[in-house]
């Protein structure tokens, strides 16, 4: 909401009052929400470390003991998540801290300095993709971070995989990648077009169009 409102205010669309209000709501709501997201996110590190000690690395004695136990039980192997899980988690946390800086924009709402200075509007516009990127990184960290287990400490991925041809798996992966990619692009295009329209509804702040002279000269409809 804040990013779309910023875009319309940058373009100086006629619905200034509407987008000024939606900008203020978006900035305040986003700042408060990201604070709660940060709190709940960091609060999960304790339970995750207790239940899945190796998911966040092997620096603790408990994790090292588990790796030794699994090696004796399941045989040699890499029982730690791939580096991609840590990379995704790290960048997600960085994005969370970056979005937390929205609190610095809240005082600029006073007397519309956020609009007068202009650069905060561009900043909000550039921040638009970050929540979606953080969402994907969090998903990668979660899914990749559970490797190499299907059931943590009980069943590894390799014996749980069904005997399916690699060509069939590749074709399935390609099909769903193209399908979901097409749906994602379509979704973004439709949202962008809808956001670019502005307040097309008179109830949202735009006055209805005045009838033209041609409309006044049209003959009245005939009724039987």
- 6-43: pLDDT as tens digits: 988 988 888 888 889 999 999 999 999 999 999 999 99
* Mean pLDDT, residues 121-147 taken together: 89
Please state the domain extents for the chain: 2-158, 162-205
* pLDDT tens digits, one per residue of 73-130: 888 888 888 888 888 889 999 999 999 999 999 999 998 899 899 899 999 999 999 9
Model pTM score = 0.75
Length of the chain: 224
- Quote the pLDDT of residue 182: 96
Within 10 angstroms of residue 120's Cβ, the number of other Cβ atoms is 21
- Quote the pLDDT of residue 47: 87
């Amino acid at each position: 909401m804040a990013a779309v409102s910023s875009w319309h205010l940058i373009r100086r669309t006629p619905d200034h009052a509407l987008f000024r209000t939606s900008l203020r709501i978006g900035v305040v709501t986003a700042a408060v929400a990201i604070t709660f997201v940060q709190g709940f996110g960091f609060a999960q590190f304790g339970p995750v470390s207790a239940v899945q000690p190796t998911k966040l690395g092997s620096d603790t004695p408990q994790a090292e003991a588990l790796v030794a136990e699994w090696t004796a039980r399941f045989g040699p192997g890499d029982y730690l998540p791939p580096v991609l899980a840590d990379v995704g988690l790290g960048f997600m946390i960085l994005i969370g801290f970056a979005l937390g800086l929205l609190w610095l924009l809240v005082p600029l709402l006073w007397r519309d300095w956020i609009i007068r200075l202009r650069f905060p509007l561009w900043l909000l516009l550039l921040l638009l993709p970050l929540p979606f990127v953080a969402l994907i990184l969090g998903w990668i960290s979660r899914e990749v971070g559970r490797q190499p287990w299907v059931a943590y400490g009980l069943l590894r991925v390799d014996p749980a995989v069904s005997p399916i041809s690699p060509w069939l798996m590749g074709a399935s992966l390609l099909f769903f990648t193209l399908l979901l990619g097409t749906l994602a692009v379509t979704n973004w295009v439709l949202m962008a077009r809808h956001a670019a329209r502005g307040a097309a509804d008179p109830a949202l702040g735009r006055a209805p169009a005045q009838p033209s002279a041609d409309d006044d000269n049209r003959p009245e409809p005939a009724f039987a």
